[in-house]
Amino acid sequence: MTALAKTKTPAFDVAKIRTDFPILSRTVHGKPLVYLDSAASAQKPQAVIDAITRAYTQDYANVHRGAYYLSETSTAAYEAAREKVRAFINAKSLSEVVFTKGATEAINLVAATYGRKFLKAGDEIVLTAVEHHSNIVPWQLLRDAVGCELKIVPVNLDGSIDVAEFAKVIGPRTKLVAIAHVSNVLGTVLPVREIADLAHAAGAKIILDGCQGIVHQHVDVQALGCDFYVFSGHKLYGPTGIGVLWARAELLDAMPPYQGGGDMIDSVTFAKTTWAPAPAKFEAGTPPIVQAIGLGAAIDYLNSIDRAAAAAHEDTLLRYAMTSLAQIPGMKLIGTARHKAAVQSFVMEGAHPHDLATVLDRSGVCVRAGHHCAQPLMEILGVSATTRASFAIYNTMDEVDALVTALRRAQEVLL
């Protein structure tokens, strides 16, 4: 390792950050834990764990309809989390922030409500070749229901996607563009503002899958120019079971409900039901109360650190990892686009990705192996699966070294 590569990012103390995540002090198979699977789900800081514990042990009750102290306290914490999300993504109003159980549900909500109301046979939805299954299957279901068509923008072999390719595919029949902000397999950061401008020029709306994007960079939904933005809490250092749909207020107002039940109604008779305004219209039943509070705590935590310095730290980790991995004989990096977030997939000649991940685990190194819910992309790349290392604010250069050392040992075992 060069002296330059070992240099710590100014204003970012990763050693201090690591003390905030209790799980990172444990061992696995007698080895220090090296957690490199944050793209699947990030670890949780103590502040989030404490907020969840406090919600269950001190303040828990159902929200919105209880005329007693605990319900009022729980409601205040739940709605405070909505405000934290609003500010974090620079939404114009609280009414634009809908809590869901995850990003997958958020995309399905848009497909089942906006899609079924406003798309018809012959209309087109534009996707890219790098999409997660959660941003493919809901649109296939919509296609099968209303007869619209899916158009796919290709990906280059290095994992980049050219805006010019969007210009070729987006046309007068395009009604919706549904794309990842950042690829969960390749780490590619898509030029979403330029794509949004193309979509709007054609009269189409654009939805961004922000599960990876919001983790690695500042997100301003107004500056991005999108119409819908979705993300999950568990990748953003928050709990599972919570996601967010942001949409422009006028779109939510025009969309029918996704589910029926309590909290989403204005009035109910056997003859007719009227709906509450957004976001309540899309939050039927008891919401993910404590999960939302946990997400709010995760946002508070992220706001307490220098996000720009954290992003620089992650980029340093990525560049060092790419250089180090490329020096391993028989190693092929999958996804080397210029604009990348801290996600790196790879394949090793002669070693199946699942076998590789299993051997790495014996060294305490946690990586993901498989198709990463992106089977169409795997087919395009000509591989059945990859191994993926994904980096977060708590990872270190020494952990990159541990990954490389474990991979070299794995070669001795498997080849």
Residue 256 sits in the same domain as residue 331? no
Pair 340, 361: CB distance under 8 Å = no
Domain membership of residue 407 (yes or no) is: yes
Write the CB contacts of 112 (distance below 8 Å, at least 6 apart in sequence): 138, 142, 258
- 379 and 341 part of one domain: yes
**Token pair belonging to 255:** 């969309």
Mean pLDDT of 263-290: 96
Residue 134 has pLDDT above 80, yes or no: yes
Task: Please report, rounded to a whole number, the percentage of residues in the chain having pLDDT higher than 70.
Answer: 97
Strands (E) located in 220-373: 228-232, 243-247, 265-268, 273-275, 331-334, 343-348, 365-366, 368-370
Residues 153 and 273 in one domain: yes
Q: Is residue 92 part of a domain?
A: yes
Tokens of 28: 């696995």
Dist. CA 87–CA 226, nearest whole Å: 17
The range of the structural domain enclosing residue 148 comes to 50-303
pLDDT score at 66? 86
Over residues 185-204, the mean pLDDT reads: 98
H or E element at residue 98? strand 97-100
Residue 40 forms part of a structural domain:
no
Tell me the pLDDT band of 7, cut-offs 50, 70 and 90.
very low
User: What does the pLDDT read at residue 415?
Assistant: 80
Question: How big, in percent rounded to 5, are the helix, strand and coil portions of the chain?
Answer: 45, 20, 35
Cα-flanking dihedrals φ and ψ of residue 234, to 5°?
-70, -20
Confidence of residue 180 (pLDDT cuts 50, 70, 90): very high
Say if residue 256 is in the same domain as residue 334.
no
Q: With a cut of 60, say whether residue 287 has pLDDT above it.
A: yes
pLDDT computed for residue 9 by the predictor = 46
Instruction: Using pLDDT thresholds of 50, 70 and 90, give the confidence band for residue 1.
Output: very low
C-alpha R_g of the chain: 22
What is the mean predicted confidence (pLDDT) over 200-207?
98
pLDDT for 60-115, tens place per residue? 999 998 899 999 999 999 999 999 999 999 999 999 999 999 999 999 999 999 99
Count of the separate structural domains present in the chain: 2
Q: For residue 41, is it within any domain?
A: no
Q: What would the DSSP string read from start to end of 177-234?
A: EEEESB-TTT-BB--HHHHHHHHHHTT-EEEEE-TTHHHHS---HHHHT-SEEEEESG
Alpha carbon 91 to its chain centroid, in Å, reads: 18
Does some domain include residue 38? no
Q: What is the CATH number of the domain that holds 344?
A: 3.90.1150.10
351 and 294 co-located in one domain: no
- Annotated active-site residue 226? The verdict is no
42 assigned to some structural domain: no
Q: 216 with 182: CB under 8 angstroms?
A: yes
How buried is residue 139: exposed, middle or buried, by Cβ count under 10 Å (0-12/13-18/19+)? buried
Domain shared by 199 and 345, yes or no: no
Q: Which tokens hold the place of 48? A: 């989030």
Whether residue 232 sits in one domain with residue 206: yes
Q: Is the pLDDT of residue 252 over 70?
A: yes
CA distances from 123 to 150, 175, 205, 275, 322 (A): 9, 6, 12, 28, 41
Residue 384's SS3 state is coil
- Confidence class of residue 10 from pLDDT cuts 50, 70 and 90? low
Domain match, 268 and 347 both: no
Of 276, 303, 330, the domain-final residue = 303
Q: Are residues 122 and 214 in the same domain?
A: yes
Other CB atoms within a 10 A radius of the CB of residue 88 amount to 24
293 and 329 both lie in a single domain = no
Q: What is the pLDDT of residue 143?
A: 98
Whether 299 and 389 share a structural domain: no
Q: Which of 148, 211, 226, 373 is catalytic?
A: 373
**Amino acid 2: pLDDT:** 37
Specify the CATH number for the domain of residue 135: 3.40.640.10
The domain boundary residue, chosen from 270, 303, 336: 303
What's the distance, CA 374 to chain centroid? 14
3-state DSSP assignment of residue 244 = strand
The predicted structure's pLDDT at residue 4 = 36
Q: Are both 210 and 89 inside the same structural domain?
A: yes
**Residue 175 CA, distance from chain mean position:** 24
Residue ending a domain, among 277, 303, 329, is 303
pLDDT value, residue 18: 98
Q: Which residues of 360-397 are buried (b: 16+ CB within 10 A; e: fewer)?
A: bbebbbbbbbbbbbbebbbeebeeebbbbbbbbbbbbb
pLDDT on residue 3: 36
Residue corresponding to tokens 């990348």: 340
Q: Flag whether 39 is in a domain.
A: no
- pLDDT digit string, tens, across residues 148-158: 999 999 999 99
The per-residue pLDDT for 65 is 83
Which tens digit of pLDDT belongs to each residue from 209-251? 999 999 999 999 999 999 999 999 999 999 999 999 999 999 9
CB-based contact 33:399 (threshold 8 Å): no
Any domain includes 158: yes
At CA 51, angle to CA 234 and CA 106, rounded to 5?
Answer: 30
Using DSSP's 3-state secondary structure scheme, residue 393 falls into coil
Percent of the chain with pLDDT over 90: 96
Rounded to whole angstroms, the Cα distance separating 190 from 404 reads 28
